[in-house]
Structure 1
Amino acid sequence: MECPNKEINLERCNCSYPSCFKKGMCCECLHYHLKNRQLPACCFPPDVEKTYDRSFETFAKLVLEGKI
């Protein structure tokens, strides 16, 4: 089933991974990343998102540094 909000979500999605099949489907994206102890791209600033390191640890480090 296709997400009814996919077009709206795509306008806000900052995922830079070219072959991501979850773009615009936030529920699928969130489930995938949480299962892998990560957060989705939208939780990170663009410079960090492009590294594809979306780990909880990286997020916590950015919070402690005041970057998020």
Structure 2
Amino acid sequence: KGYGTLDLYASKRIDKTFKLQFNVKNITSATVETTSHLYDTSGAITQTQIDKEHSRPQILLTLDGKW
């Protein structure tokens, strides 16, 4: 099942020493729903749990350097 989330990753090498990275996670602010089941010894479902994660877009900008 798809969640409709959209992530963006970009990387640019500035020179031999530095690299700039830009990451945006969940651009669409989609809700992610996870369903889990608990089974008894006979294989029957005894409990169903549905978790919904509401999150805003997360942005990360990094500058990597080696020296």
Q: Going by fraction, where is strand more abundant, 1 or 2?
A: 2
Answer whether TM exceeds 0.5 for this pair.
no
Q: Going by fraction, where is helix more abundant, 1 or 2?
A: 1
Q: Which has the higher contact order (CA 8 A, sep 6+)?
A: 2
TM-score in terms of structure 1 length: 0.18
Larger radius of gyration: 2
TM-score in terms of structure 2 length: 0.18
